[in-house]
Amino acid sequence: MSTIELAGVSRWFGNVVAVNDVTMTIGPGVTGLLGPNGAGKTTLLAMMSGFLPPSSGTVTLDGMAIWRNPKMYRSIGLVPEAEAMFDSMTAQQFVLANAQLHGLDDPVAATAAALEQVEMQDARDRRIGTFSKGMKQRIKMATALVHSPTVLLLDEPFNGMDPRQRMHLLALLQRLGAEGHTVLFSSHILEEVEDIAGTIEVLVAGRQAASGDFRSIRRLMTERPHQYTLSSSDNRALAAAIISDGSADAVSITATGLEVQASDFGRFVHALPRVAHDATIALYDVTPADDSLESVFSYLVAR
């Protein structure tokens, strides 16, 4: 079992701060690294995997610095987001080359086992250039697993996967976490993290917005004030009915409809159809105005 620790880690590129004073501990099990695009997730993973030095702070694996410490690579498996692969090689050749680079005692057997883990043994003799994006993702996963690392770092691993491939990878990550591996995967899709991660680290604009148990943080996300835009057959009457019902915190009339803010998400979405029906008002459109992960995370940062 292994633990990665970051202490006051920052990384900047010229005047751009990609990661800003992040402190976290990633231990055995499955942890989700959640954040909108551009939040700094890839930069953070690059420092954890030893490919990028922190500008300040320390990144260690089991108490030893990762940067400029090649022996740490034996304990780390990385699935990068980028698809820089050798398309002219077969799947087996590519994974075998990685097994040989790690100096494994039996690289051929390790390659076969890794391909089987990701269900790519039947395509082992096909050239990588003929693969779909989802198949390439699975080959990258095989190269990350071939040397049996204690730590797995995965950058957007579900990109391009069809539902069956996604379910298989979810099950594989769950099993590895249950076996004591330290698994950290990044995503900007909340549902992917919710499926398997017991704990999460949330990044926004390079800053750590939340950390810890997924369920408690998810509750904060659900309970934050929600913004909606509505249009109906009688916007003024609907505004009065919503205010009278008390299911929303604020209602304002605009040129195109209504803007509504509701702290109790569950109560409002259940009350709105009833309120409109009782007032004999037809609802034409109900749109969340702040349903992006960016707005969710910004709310967490503000807290």
Pair of tokens at residue 97: 């080359």
pLDDT digits (tens, 9 = 90+) for 222-233: 666 778 899 999
Res. 38: pLDDT tops 70:
yes
Q: DSSP letter for 279, please.
A: T
Q: Do residues 100 and 124 share a domain?
A: yes
Domain final residue pick, 178, 197, 221: 221
Mean pLDDT computed over every residue of the chain: 90
Res. 16: pLDDT tops 60:
yes
How many C-beta atoms surround the C-beta of residue 183 within 10 A?
A: 25
Domain final residue pick, 196, 221, 246: 221
pLDDT digits (tens, 9 = 90+) for 108-131: 999 999 999 999 999 999 999 999
* Segment 131-152 mean pLDDT: 95
Which pLDDT value is given to residue 126?
A: 97
Provide the residue range defining the domain that includes 277.
Answer: 225-302
Please give the residue that has the higher pLDDT: either 220 or 292.
220
What total of structural domains would you count in the chain? 2
Q: Do residues 143 and 239 share a domain?
A: no
User: Is residue 65 within 8 Å of 53, Cβ to Cβ?
Assistant: no
Q: Do residues 169 and 297 share a domain?
A: no
Which pLDDT value is given to residue 301?
A: 59
Q: Do residues 203 and 246 share a domain?
A: no
- CATH number, residue 53: 3.40.50.300
Q: Do residues 216 and 290 share a domain?
A: no
Q: Do residues 231 and 188 share a domain?
A: no
Pair of tokens at residue 258: 């209504």
- CATH number, residue 282: 3.30.70
Pair of tokens at residue 267: 């109560």
Q: Do residues 260 and 142 share a domain?
A: no
pLDDT digits (tens, 9 = 90+) for 183-220: 999 987 777 787 788 888 989 889 998 888 877 776 66
Q: Do residues 187 and 256 share a domain?
A: no
Neighbouring C-alpha atoms within 13 Å toward the C-beta of 60: 10
Q: Do residues 159 and 258 share a domain?
A: no
Q: Do residues 31 and 121 share a domain?
A: yes
* Distance separating alpha carbons of residues 101 and 106, to the nearest angstrom: 12
Q: Do residues 80 and 215 share a domain?
A: yes
Q: Do residues 149 and 50 share a domain?
A: yes
Confidence of residue 292 (pLDDT cuts 50, 70, 90): low
Domain final residue pick, 188, 221, 254: 221
Res. 253: pLDDT tops 90:
yes
Which pLDDT value is given to residue 204?
A: 86
